[in-house]
Each structure stands twice: as structure tokens, then as C-alpha cells.
Amino acid sequence: MTIKIVTDSSADLDQETIAKWDIHVISHMIEMDGKQYLDRVNITPTDCLEYMKHSPNVPKTSQPSIGTFLQLYESLTADGSEVLSIHISGQLSGTVSTAHMAANQVDGQVTVYDSHFLSKTLSFQVIEAAKMAKEGKTVREIIERLEKIRENSRLYVVLDTLEYLNKGGRIGKGKALLGSLLKIKPIAAIHEGIYTPIATVRNYNQAMKHMLQLMREDTQGKVIKAISVGHAGGLKRATQLKNKILELYENVTIQIHETTPIISTHTGPETVGLMYFFE
């Protein structure tokens, strides 16, 4: 039976990858000054960052509606295909919950899976699922593989401030680090599906050293399968981090991408993230 893969726009997938693996992407909603936008459809990451720099208001984000999920699921299962729907962490968004509700209302077979991540650490799972689906693997076989990738994935971010995560309620344990953040760069990780502050440093160079040390510890004796550096208007910093990684690891390919507004509205401008998975 054919398995079709669905995800959401927080996966930071480019159009070439979406087309290559026949992935179906549902967009999140972004609201600015009362106007609604579809993530990556009629608003770009740059548009959102410019708004954040010049407006006292923080853009509001919302998950796709249940109607959007229902329409897509019904369309994809109409020919008897199964659907595997892989989404942003349920601790960060209600997307997984909405997807579950929609899946329970369609006649076709739809399985919803919580990636526990977002951005490229979500797309690592989505792309692997799409590859396995084309190979004829079952949903159970794909999920078993995704669980291993999820366990061996890491996401670290360095922010200019925790202000945006705090406003959005996206911070987990470790709020004591919120203290006085003047001239301090906080570093957060995705832990158990939610942003968790793990360290504070004085500048970006120290932040890079800290993240690279974590990466060395995580991957010692392991094989790195994928690396990506994401940023929110911080291309220069992202490039610096990429170059530092290349000094440490041979024969690795590193993607740099500008992250979706769904992420940058909560992390703020100048955020840089390091994402990878290993075996």
C-alpha cells in the first residue's frame, strides 16, 4: 500500500526537497497587525524579521486548522493510500493534537507522529520517512526508524535574548537563567520536546565553542548522518559556525538555512541553531 508523507511548515523544507520526495506540507498561520499570512506561502522569514525589528508587537502564530488537515487527509486517502503525518513537537505547538483529531474523523488510515523537534531536526525525520515510503516500507517500520532518529537528534540554539521564548511560553525548566540577561547570550536546547535554557555565555564566539563542545561529546565514536545550521537573520554568524564545524569534521555536508517565521517569532532575530543527528 502506498504511504504518503505529511508535515508542517516548521520543518523548514525547501521546495526542491518537497518535490523530490513528494512531501505534503501544511502551513502554519502568522498574524501581524491583524492580517493573516500563510507561512512560506505569502510571507517570508525576512518579512517577519523586519516586522519584529520595527514593531513593538510580536507576531502571533497559530497551528493549521482542523479543517485544513481534514481536507488534505481526505484527499490523500481517497485512492486507498495510507498517510503518515509527522509534526512539530507537541510541547511547542498544538499541531499534533489537531492532526490527531482530524485523523480520527477521516475514513482512511492516517497515523500521526510527534517528532519532538522542529526545523531541520523535524525534516531529518520527514525525509527519512519519505525515502522509506518510496522503498515500500510499512508505517510501523518507518516509525521504528523515526524513533531512533529522534533519540539521536540534537538541536541547540544561541539567542540574543530569551525575551521572545518567555513571551510565547516556550521555555521549559531552567527559567532561573532568565535573570539578568544584559549582554549575555543564552543557549537553549530542545529537551523532551521543549526549549530548555542550558547555559549563558558572554558572546557569540563563546556560544559557538559551547555548542561545538556539546556536539563533540554527543558524536564521539558515532557517525554523523546530517548537520544543518539555521538562522533568523543571522547569516554571518551561521556561516562562522559552519566554518568552525568544518575545521573539526572531515567529509561532512552542512546546510545553512533561514528558518521559518514560526520559529523566529519565538526565538527572536539573530538566532542561530545547530542541528544534527548521528548513529
Mean pLDDT over 53-65 rounds to 87
What is the pLDDT confidence band of residue 166, given thresholds at 50, 70 and 90? low
Q: Is pLDDT above 60 for 115? A: yes
pTM above 0.75, yes or no: yes
Which among 90, 87, 211 is positioned nearest to 157, based on CA atoms? Answer: 211
Q: Mean pLDDT of all residues in the chain?
A: 91
Nine-digit cell at 272?
542561530
- How much is the pLDDT for 157? 92
Per-residue pLDDT, averaged over 8-25, amounts to 97
Q: Which of 236, 195, 244, 194 lies closest to 215 in space, CA to CA? A: 244
Spatial separation of the C-alpha atoms in residues 39 and 43, rounded to whole Å: 6
Which residue intervals of the chain bear CATH 3.30.1180.10? 153-278
Q: How far apart are CA 233 and CA 46, in angstroms?
A: 7
Average pLDDT over residues 264-271: 82
CA 44 from chain center: how many Å? Answer: 16
Comparing 62-76, 81-95, 259-273, the range with the smallest average pLDDT is 259-273
pLDDT at 265: 80
Grade residue 54 by pLDDT with cuts at 50, 70 and 90. confident
pLDDT (tens digit per residue) in 170-204: 554 444 344 444 567 889 899 889 888 899 898 99
What is the per-residue pLDDT for 73? 99
Q: What is the mean pLDDT of residues 108-116?
A: 98
Contact (CB, 8 A) for 95 and 17 = no
DSSP one-letter string for 197-217? EEEEESSHHHHHHHHHHHHHH
Rounded Cα–Cα distance for residues 75 and 193 (Å): 30
Cα dihedral value 128, 133, 137, 142, nearest 10: 40
- Among the four given CATH numbers 3.30.420.10, 1.10.3720.10, 3.40.50.10170, 3.30.2350.10, the one describing domain 3-28+63-151: 3.40.50.10170
Which part of the chain is CATH 3.40.50.10170?
A: 3-28+63-151
Q: Find the helix packing angle between 66-77 and 95-103, rounded to 10°.
A: 50
Strand (E) positions, the chain?
3-8, 23-26, 29-32, 35-38, 60-62, 82-87, 110-114, 153-158, 185-191, 194-201, 224-231, 254-258, 272-278
| The CATH number fitting domain 153-278, selected from 3.30.1180.10, 3.90.550.10, 3.40.718.10, 3.30.70.1400 | 3.30.1180.10
Whether the predicted pLDDT of 141 surpasses 50: yes
Q: How many CA atoms lie within 13 A of 133 on its CB side?
A: 24
Rounded mean pLDDT, 140-149: 99
Of 233 and 97, the structure prediction assigns the larger pLDDT to 97
Using the predicted structure, report yes or no on whether residue 255 has a pLDDT greater than 70: yes
Residue 100, pLDDT above cutoff 70:
yes
Question: Closest Cα partner for 76 from 115, 42, 36, 25?
Answer: 25
Q: What percent of the chain has a predicted confidence (pLDDT) above 70?
A: 92
Angstrom distances, CA of residue 275 to CA of 222, 241, 245: 15, 11, 12
Convert the pLDDT of each residue in 17-29 to its tens digit: 999 999 999 999 9
Mean pLDDT of 21-43: 94
Nearest CA among 151, 169, 160, 197 for reference residue 53: 160
